[in-house]
Amino acid sequence: MIVLRTMEKSKGKLNPFMMYLHRIIRILPVVAMAILIYMTMMPVVSGGPMFKGGYHGTHFCARNWYWTLLFVQNYAVLNICLDHTWYLAVDMQLYIISPILLIAIYKWGKKAAAGICVLIVLLSGCLFATQMVNNYSLLIRNDDDDGVANKKLYLATHNHAAPWLIGFLFGYFLHLNRGKKFELTGKFDSPPISVLAESCYYTLTRLAWPLAICWIIFACTQGYGGLANSFLSSPLWQPFSRLSYSMYVWHMLVQEVNSRNVRTTTYFSAYQMNASLLDVIPYAEEDSTEQELQCMYDLMFLALGVSNGEYWAFKMFDSWGKIPSGILRGNLYELGNFDECLNTKNILPAPFKNITGKYCFLSVTPSLLLGSNNPLAAAVKLNIGTCFPSSCRASHMNNFLKTMMNINTTISVPGIGISDSSCQTLQKEPWDGLTKASIWILVAMAAIVALFTVVDYFLRKVPEELPAIVKIFSARANSRALFRVTETTSNPNVIECIHGIRCMTLFWVIFSHEYVDSLITANLNLVDFFLWAEEPYASFVLHSFFSVDSFFVIGGMLVSLITLRIMERSDGKLNVLLMYLHRLIRIWPLMALAILIYMKLMPVVADGPLFKDGYSGLPQCEAGWYWSLIFVQNYVSNKCVGHTWYLAVDMQLFILSPIFLFALYKWGKKAAAGIVVLVLLLSACLFATMMVNDYSMLMKRTSVDAMANMYYATHTHAAPWLIGFLFGYFLHLNRAKKFQLNWMIVGLGWILSLAMIFTSIFALYPSGKWIGASVSILGESFYHTFTRIGWPLALCWVIFACMQGYGGLANSFLSSPLWQPLSRLSYSIFIWHLFIVEVNARNVRTNVYFSNYQMMLKFWSDLGITILVSYVLHLIFEAPFSSIGEYLKPGIKNLKATNEVEEEKTDAKKSSSPMEHNNFAPDSETNLVQQRV
């Protein structure tokens, strides 16, 4: 399509040499670099027990690298250097012959197109004949060892020419009809498939698949794509599309590094037992209850099963964990095979009951076994997975183990045993009323959203004409508002960088929580976590509490900036009740849903050996869920959904904000001076609290009281919020003003702000070591006092510099339009990220290896899943309630009168809340419809 347009403009002229040269310059350098890096650099960037030889295809590259550089590797050799680059060879070969087809199409038009159609049919017949004559198959179970079928059917260029030619003809069709609008209405043990059927399958699908893709493109370009077009045409794909070639070349490097950079293995073993197992079945005359007798029967059948070589009995013992290796490195878990145990089943004839598996942890405390009373040593407990018949209780299992170890069953052995609380079976506890209610709420909301989405789709009206009820609940309308992307401007009245700052801060929070939650999973090397805490890199995680202060700065800034504009237009009037009500409708429903889902649905969506009791914070939620709903959980010990303490602090400061707003509106700079004094007093209070109580936030000497009074308390975070509040007042006074600063002032501002940021993160690094001198309480008090002021000021400079055009690369990055959808989704991501992090941390079947690289992999995995979950829950829960809140926001009529709002589309208005001051609601005129101030 592109070349035909070029030929049309040049009256049929085409320079094939320049075509080839441009293509080679575009592709060859990256391929050459890839060969070098795959061959030589893979052992440099990673290691592990399976990494001895580096890249698996190194010896192929050593012999055949030049075929890849000539783009004939799909024909020249069977073992290709960088095997996934066979596609580039096929594509290059087809590209080389393309001028013949292009000139024919330009000269003879539809006649040439008909000839190409004939060629497609012939190529399809060639594929069919090749497979039939040679009896080739691409099914895994029929795969030949020498790979000839793969080479002849999959790697050969002529077998992929048909889809390429179909795309070529479709491009010709689009070229002929450019600008034209078409009006349209309207499993391995299965029976083997015959070679004829498989040949027909591959022949027809080689035609049908490209035709289906062509239809999708045509429908999207003609306006018939619907939701598919909205998704596929999103501007968010454009950067990834430009990166697609590099991603294709390098993805195999990352995949192989991650697949071979492992410290654990999945194994199957045959457990060799004999009939002597019958001798260790614990039996006593007093074991006379029905359940106890049933356990005895099941153990007897288990012993007989092992004696007779029955598969189910071997599975039960095979699923046991063994004595773990690496105990001195902190490997305290040997999980065995959880699923193998639970899926073990032996069907017995009546009157006997079927035998199923029960997975339990055998807890071993080495210090108690050795007679030591050292409390630190007692904290080291080994947990080994075991499997018994589900009819047995912990007492039966413990007696069984004692009998195996020749210990009198009447003697209590400290330091070793199984507890019923650690046991799981396939039979789950029935759902209680609250669990059912949670599921019904989600189903009902999803049904309502689906209904109005269908109504929206069939109405096919422009967004401005949709009924309000449809816009509130329609997933299509809410998705349109969520993914709306506006171009970055250089207007000093626009705070574009807030999107990037909010997203990067949120990523920092999630990344830090990954490290914290790594402590609750089964680690191979838990000791390395404590060694890691002494590294400089660890400071990014250990001092990530500054990320919370960044949110408070942004939140305080938006409260003053937006509300003062509203008050200015309404002659100082402000409906405080509606402010609070709108905020509650925006925040409270998702918070209530989060409490239900964290408490009740975590065991529903996941399981595993570490998932016995569901959510780790379940006891706190059961004891104090109501504190979270009234936003005072930061002052109680039972913090349900613990990370939401931030919302409590932010809500409390928001409740106080009308006092500061009225003061600023009435007394202006005098009130601002009073707020400055208040910031200093709050900082002095923080300093005095640390000094008087000898509090420390260093990991090696912190305490629960220190966290409660220094980290969770509202007054300790009020200073950053008030600094942001004053900064918003400054922006309000100087809106539309362009500050002319010379390069020395700008440079000094960036140097001081960056120095403050890095000082805040790394200043306590030397004192963070487990062994060695620590900073004095006086020094640490000064550190926390001054950084609570310095960090917000540094962030304010970053925002100011980006607004005024002095941000440079920082502004280009933070103000990228790509941040906008994620920024609008930030509240949902914040709420749900710990759900995903904990599920993935505890939903493990093998031990995990702790390292910065593994944490990075886990972060990106959890972030991607969190974004998907947040998007779905945003559509069915958050967005509808946020839209309802739009009708309660004060000052909207005055704001709609402004030129800025009139420039925006209705979708922007719908998703923009003029009085939304929640830091996690970016599209709410928290940025005044794209942060116009």
Distance CA 162, CA 752 (A): 62
Summarised one tens digit per residue, pLDDT across range 3-52 is 888 888 888 788 888 888 988 988 888 888 888 887 777 777 766 676 66
* pLDDT at residue 85, rounded to an integer: 85
The helix, strand and coil proportions of the chain, stated in percent and rounded to the nearest 5, come to 65, 5, 30
Summarised one tens digit per residue, pLDDT across range 426-470 is 888 888 889 999 999 999 999 999 999 998 888 776 767 788 888
Q: Give Cα separations from 457 to 231, 478, 480, 483, 910 (angstroms).
A: 14, 13, 12, 17, 18
Share of the chain above pLDDT 90, in %: 33
Q: Which residue has the tokens 């900036």?
A: 561
Tell me the pLDDT of the chain averaged across its residues: 82
Q: Which residue has the tokens 């590259």?
A: 61
Q: Side chain identity at 632, as an amino acid letter? A: V
Q: Collapsing DSSP states into helix, strand and coil, what is residue 595?
A: helix
- CA 888 from chain center: how many Å? 33
pLDDT grade, residue 272 (50/70/90)?
very low
pLDDT at 261 over 90: no
pLDDT grade, residue 589 (50/70/90)?
very high
pLDDT at 276 over 70: no
- CA 466 from chain center: how many Å? 34
Q: How many CB atoms lie within 10 A of CB 435?
A: 17
* pLDDT at residue 919, rounded to an integer: 57
Cβ(732)–Cβ(769) under 8 Å? no
Instruction: Report residue 16 as tokens.
Output: 């094939």
Q: Collapsing DSSP states into helix, strand and coil, what is residue 506?
A: helix
Find residue 360's DSSP bridge partners: 386
Summarised one tens digit per residue, pLDDT across range 856-884 is 999 999 999 999 999 999 999 999 988 88
Q: Collapsing DSSP states into helix, strand and coil, what is residue 358?
A: strand
Q: Which residue has the tokens 């195996």?
A: 404
* pLDDT at residue 490, rounded to an integer: 55
Report the range out of 79-88, 362-371, 814-823 with the highest average pLDDT: 814-823
Cβ(809)–Cβ(800) under 8 Å? no
Handedness of CA 175, 176, 178, 182 (dihedral sign): negative
pLDDT grade, residue 675 (50/70/90)?
very high
Distance CA 540, CA 545 (A): 9
Distance CA 522, CA 340 (A): 18
Annotated domain spans of the chain: 1-181+196-261, 290-427, 485-890
Distance CA 278, CA 400 (A): 11
Q: Collapsing DSSP states into helix, strand and coil, what is residue 363?
A: strand
Summarised one tens digit per residue, pLDDT across range 354-367 is 889 999 999 888 77
Q: How many CB atoms lie within 10 A of CB 191?
A: 5
Average pLDDT, integer, range 210-215: 84
DSSP string, 693-721: HT---STTT--HHHHIIIII-HHHHHHHH
Share of the chain above pLDDT 70, in %: 84
Report the range out of 150-154, 326-330, 514-518 with the highest average pLDDT: 514-518
Summarised one tens digit per residue, pLDDT across range 471-503 is 889 998 899 889 888 876 655 566 889 999 999
Summarised one tens digit per residue, pLDDT across range 525-541 is 988 998 898 889 999 99
Phi, psi of 698 (to 5 degrees): -65, 140
Cβ(572)–Cβ(666) under 8 Å? yes
Phi, psi of 355 (to 5 degrees): -100, 125
Strands 345-346, 382-389: pairing kind: unpaired
Name the nearest CA neighbour of 398 among 379, 378, 381, 414.
Answer: 414
